[in-house]
Amino acid sequence: MYGSLSIIEVDNWGRKVHEEDPQKLAEFEARIERGEKIEPQDWMPFEYRRQLIRMIEQHAHSEIIGALPEGTWITRAPGFKRKLALMAKVQDEVGHAQLLYSAAETLGKPREQMINDLINGKSKYSNVFNYPAVTWADTAVIAWLIDAGAIINQVANAKGSYGPYGRALDRICAEESFHLRYGYDTCVHLATGTPKQRQMLQEALNRWWTPIMHFHGPPDKTSVHTETLMKWQVKMASNDAMRQQFLDMYVPKIWELGLTIPDPNLRKNTETGLWEYTEPDWDEFMRVINGDGPCNAERLAVRRYAEEKGRWVRQALIRPTERYVTPLA
């Protein structure tokens, strides 16, 4: 699961588009215009490659880190059905990380480097995973609403121009639909259960509403670079459009369960057809992204632990003759 954060580094542009070979650039853009996919061995503008690596890598990190807050409840899930489903769901997140790292690798960045950049804090991941899953109901809310947000983002990105990313996302979206059903079913059982269960769910929703509103990233900045990335089909939908789509699809479902969304200003404007809401605290968003969230340090420490404790296992099996070759597709 993944939202939008600083995925598109609009201000820090490494090479200007007009510095690219004009003929190759024209062919590249014409190919995208025709709806054809770009494959790893194709010529591509420097910034296309850089932004894609950045985006796919952050998506991959989000999956592997995303396994942690929900993983918190694997050992405590109530009953066989939930226990097995949560085990399978968290496993899927790890699987998604594997698929996405593979897609990023095709652009020329080995997995080793991506792991280093994650653990050293050089590379970001989705902000929501820096919040704790305090109770069982938090995992239910994550599985339903965070995954729902992620699906909106991923379905859009799956139509993007880069072949390997699209292929990975097609597979990921198929699995996310299980997550969404599982999450919804779990929330519904809490909402329609005992007063204690209902209260648990309401409290979790209260805790998660801000991260949910943060999920698709800050309001859109329009710039020449954003337009270029949209033309190259790297960025497929604006943050605000995705947030609107999310609200449209899920607010009625939340209200249907008799739950209260902790935003008194939330309503759909019947004239504009758009949702109006209190802007979430974007300073908090920036603080958390820059490392100062409730769980940032723990998440990275757990990843570091996993890599360090697993090192002897991996290194015992390295063959001296092995050479890394960039995966093909």
Partner 1 sequence: MNTEALKDLLFRLADDDLVIGHRNSEWTGIGPVLEEDIAFASMAQDCVGHAQSYYTLIHELGEADPDRLAFHRSEKDFRSCHLVEQPIGDYAFSLIRHFLYDLAKQVRLEALTQSSYAPLAQLADRIRREHKYARMHATTWVRQLAAGSDEARLRLQSALNEAYPMALGLFESTDFTETLAAEGVQPAESVLQSRWQQLLEQTLAGTGLSLPGDFDAAAYMGGRKGYHSEHLGPMLAEMTEVYALDPEAVW
Partner 2 sequence: MQFESLDPRVNRLRLVRTNEAFDVGHEMDQWQTWEVFHQQARGDQHRHVGIVHAPTAEMALLFAKEQYARRMKCVNLWVVRTADVYASEYEDADMFEPAFDKSYRESFGYTQTRARIDEYRKAQGLTTPAAAETEKQAEPVAAKTTVKKAGIVIGKKK
Query: Residues 181, 188: contact at Cβ < 8 Å?
Result: no
Residue 293 site contact among partner 1, partner 2, none (CB < 5 to 8 Å, cut-off depends on kind): none
Chosen residue from 71, 160, 280, 293 binding partner 1 by CB under 8 A: 71
Residue 173 site contact among partner 2, partner 1, none (CB < 5 to 8 Å, cut-off depends on kind): none
Q: How far apart (Å, rounded) are the C-alpha atoms in residues 98 and 84?
A: 21
- Choose the stretch contacting partner 1; rule: CB under 8 A; options: 28-36, 192-200, 256-264, 280-288: 192-200
User: Is 324 among the residues that bind partner 1 (CB under 8 A)?
Assistant: no
SS (H, E, C) the chain: CCCCCCCCCCCCCCCCHHHCCHHHHHHHHHHHHCCCCECCCCCCCHHHHHHHHHHHHHHHHHHHHHHHHHHCCHHHCCCHHHHHHHHHHHHHHHHHHHHHHHHHHCCCCCHHHHHHHHHCCCCCCCHHHHCCCCCHHHHHHHHHHHHHHHHHHHHHHHCCCEHHHHHHHHHHHHHHHHHHHHHHHHHHHHHCCCHHHHHHHHHHHHHHHHHHHHCCCCCCCCCHHHHHHHHCCCCCCCHHHHHHHHHHHHHHHHHHCCCCCCCCCCEECCCCCCEECCCCCHHHHHHHHHHHCCCHHHHHHHHHHHHHHHHHHHHHCCCCCCCCCCCCC
Of the candidates 217, 68, 173, the one whose C-alpha atom is nearest the C-alpha of residue 130 is: 68
User: Contact letters (x/-) for partner 2, 294-313, by CB under 8 A?
Assistant: ---xx--xx-xx-x---x--
For partner 2, the closer of residues 68 and 205 by Cβ is: 68
For partner 1, the closer of residues 10 and 100 by Cβ is: 100
Chosen residue from 25, 95, 251, 287 binding partner 2 by CB under 8 A: 95
Q: How far apart (Å, rounded) are the C-alpha atoms in residues 45 and 274?
A: 36
User: Is 328 among the residues that bind partner 2 (CB under 8 A)?
Assistant: yes
For partner 2, the closer of residues 114 and 151 by Cβ is: 114
Q: How far apart (Å, rounded) are the C-alpha atoms in residues 131 and 28?
A: 41
User: Is 158 among the residues that bind partner 1 (CB under 8 A)?
Assistant: no
For partner 2, the closer of residues 272 and 315 by Cβ is: 315
Chosen residue from 6, 102, 206, 226 binding partner 2 by CB under 8 A: 102
For partner 1, the closer of residues 86 and 151 by Cβ is: 86
Q: How far apart (Å, rounded) are the C-alpha atoms in residues 1 and 138?
A: 16
Chosen residue from 13, 83, 132, 226 binding partner 2 by CB under 8 A: 132
Chosen residue from 98, 113, 206, 226 binding partner 1 by CB under 8 A: 98
- Which 168-187 positions form the footprint of partner 2 (CB under 8 A)? 168, 171, 175
For partner 2, the closer of residues 119 and 229 by Cβ is: 119
For partner 1, the closer of residues 258 and 310 by Cβ is: 310
- Choose the stretch contacting partner 1; rule: CB under 8 A; options: 49-57, 71-79, 168-176, 240-248: 71-79
User: Is 95 among the residues that bind partner 1 (CB under 8 A)?
Assistant: yes
Q: Which residues bind partner 2 (CB under 8 A)?
A: 39, 41-42, 68, 71-72, 74-76, 95, 98-99, 102, 105, 110-112, 115-116, 119-120, 132-134, 167-168, 171, 175, 297-298, 301-302, 304-305, 307, 311, 314-315, 317-319, 322-329
